[in-house]
Structure 1
Amino acid sequence: RRYHSEDPDEKAFGGRVEIRLANGETIVDEIAVADAHPLGARPFTRPDYVAKFRLLAEPVLTADEIERFLDLAERLPELTPAEVRELSIVAAPGVLASAPAPKGLF
């Protein structure tokens, strides 16, 4: 129900994990909402999202590209159509060439 909800205060993407150990024991845990969700255990604030973006982007984007993108994203409501088109990111030199070819999703 939460997954398909149109109410942003209710919509959530929780998760369930089930681990079967070598001794046959099974450990199961489930959360209804991600910790970072507004209803989660530790809701993200804007600085949290920026920090997460930086953490994930640093291995594949240059510092200048990270700052360029964040500057545009912070000004999203006032961007011109031309600036909106600049929201795409450009990988750091050599990143794509050194990446293994994907085998697909499954």
Structure 2
Amino acid sequence: MASPIQRSIIDVRMNDGTEYRNIVTNLRDQQRFSDLREARRWSAEDQMLVMRVLAWAALCRLGKFDGGYDAFLDATEIIVPVEESQDVDPTVTAIQGD
């Protein structure tokens, strides 16, 4: 039996104390990572790098951060993956249009 699909969920605390909790990343965020990784010739093996870029991309997509990746690094105190990742039912997701 195949493993369930899981969402990547991230908590972010900015230097100004603003906290963003349970930020769910998506395929668009993964594509932004892929594009930035290729442009900057980064390794895809660095999981902390992946998490940082996904957090930045998700917050930009959600309208919570308006700036480039380097500005995000300067403005961010900590990024933490949420331990309780959620299993995704692809059928329900497709029907709901998420």
TM-score range, shorter chain: under 0.3
Q: When the two structures are superposed, what TM-score results if normalisation uses the length of structure 2? A: 0.24
Higher relative contact order (CA 8 A, sep 6+): 2
- Comparing both structures, which one devotes a greater share of its residues to helix? 2
- Normalising by the residue count of structure 1, what TM-score does the alignment of the two structures yield? 0.23
